[in-house]
């Protein structure tokens, strides 16, 4: 399992989001993509899955040059940060996952296993989507992504709308998941998944930095991207960001 970015340059309109970006993500393992708001984290994930085409360079996934999303179907799955769920539709959480599982030929045991692993209590399985909180909807979308069972998983801000205790539980699950799959996740708080992280990619105005955790989480590195929002407390680097 490998995602390789070779001198990738991406533009959105007239704006260059990132330029000559080169990085290799090899799995199984977990890689974090961080950076200030608007730095291109989501754009990077969309480029990897082929929804955005680079103006220069190329994305290679397991020796497949990604020219469109069809080429990586079954190989990679993506959970967006923002999504549209038919919350007013007369469908329960369980049915929402089960319908996709049925298309994929998976049985009900697979559905129940995924729901348990993502921390969704059985008391919510048969509630309508419109009755769920933001945090439960986030877990539901994660479960729907994981039921695809692809070897490579992209997660865009998987901890959005989830309470602090839930974030800890979910980070442990994502960490375990990365022992079997290649997981690339964007984050505003790299500490949640730090113990599982292979490398970190920082995006920001003027460039990027990619390397081991110890190389990247230094004030002299993060300060280039976060400016005054990167501070160091008792010899530990912290990022003050918002979401």
Q: What is the DSSP string of 200-224?
A: EEEEETTEEEEEEHHHHSSHHHHHH
What structural domains and CATH numbers belong to the chain?
A: 1-75+151-243 (3.40.50.300), 83-149 (no CATH)
**What is the structure's pLDDT at 237?**
61
In SS3 terms, 47-82 reads as HHCCCCCCCEEEEEECCEECCCHHHHCCCEEEECCC
**What is the structure's pLDDT at 232?**
65
- Spell out a b/e string for 127-151, using b for 16 or more CB atoms within 10 Å of the CB, else e: eebeebeebbbbbbbbbbbbbbebb
Average pLDDT by stretches of 10, the chain with 243 residues: 95 90 95 92 95 94 90 90 73 91 82 88 91 85 90 92 80 90 92 93 90 91 79 58 52
Q: What are phi and psi of 22, to 5 degrees?
A: -125, 125
DSSP 92: B
Q: How far apart are CA 158 and CA 154, in angstroms?
A: 10
Which tokens belong to 101? 């599982």
**What is the structure's pLDDT at 173?**
86
Cis, peptide link before residue 168, omega less than 30° from 0: no
HSE toward the beta carbon, residue 192, CA cutoff 13 A: 25
Q: How far apart are CA 209 and CA 202, in angstroms?
A: 5
């Amino acid at each position: 399992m490998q995602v390789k970015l070779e001198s990738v340059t991406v533009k959105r309109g007239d704006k260059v989001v990132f330029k000559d970006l080169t990085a290799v993500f090899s799995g199984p393992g977990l890689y974090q993509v961080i950076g200030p708001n608007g730095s291109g984290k989501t754009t990077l994930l969309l480029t990897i899955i082929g929804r955005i085409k680079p103006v220069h360079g190329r994305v290679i996934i397991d020796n497949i040059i990604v020219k469109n999303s069809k080429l990586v179907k079954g190989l990679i799955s993506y959970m967006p940060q923002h999504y549209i769920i038919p919350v007013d539709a007369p469908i329960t959480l369980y049915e929402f996952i089960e319908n996709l599982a049925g298309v994929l030929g998976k049985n009900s045991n697979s559905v129940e296993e995924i729901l348990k692993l993502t921390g969704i209590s059985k008391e919510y399985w048969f509630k309508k989507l419109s009755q769920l909180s933001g945090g439960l909807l986030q877990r539901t979308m994660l479960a729907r992504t994981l039921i695809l069972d692809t070897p490579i998983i992209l997660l865009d801000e998987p901890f959005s709308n989830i309470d602090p205790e839930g974030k800890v539980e979910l980070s442990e699950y994502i960490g375990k998941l990365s022992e079997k799959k290649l997981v690339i996740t964007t984050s505003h708080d790299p500490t949640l998944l730090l113990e599982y992280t292979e490398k970190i990619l920082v995006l920001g105005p003027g460039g990027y930095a990619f390397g081991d955790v110890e190389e990247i989480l230094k004030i002299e590195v993060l300060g280039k991207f976060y400016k005054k929002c990167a501070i160091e407390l008792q010899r530990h680097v912290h990022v003050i960001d918002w979401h």
